[in-house]
Amino acid sequence: MGFISLGCVMENMWLMAQSLGFSVHVLSVFAADAVEKEVKQILSIPEYMKIAYAFRMGHSVSKPAKHRRVRRDMEMFTYHNRFGYKGLG
């Protein structure tokens, strides 16, 4: 339940940042133990504590880059009854 609550806090912080004109990027790099250890050392976070979520915040670029949208056939990423099962074909 704790991680769900932390996720709600993160979402609310993200929404408030957006409303103030900031962009937020959620960081998933802390899954690597070496990165988490280094950040704990830099910020003087006790070793027994765990970094659950982190994000960086800043001003967004004035004009977002255009990304090419690629359409795929549904059969390329959907499966029936189990992962990777392509049917009888």
What's the pLDDT tens digit per position in 15-33?
999 899 888 888 877 767 8
Res 84 pLDDT > 70: no
Cα separations (Å) of 63 from 10, 18, 79?
26, 16, 38
> How many Cα atoms sit within 13 Å of 26 on the Cβ side?
13
Read off the pTM: 0.52
Torsion of CA 16, 26, 23, 19, to 10 degrees: -10
Question: What pLDDT, in 10s, does the model give residues 34-53?
Answer: 888 888 888 888 989 888 77
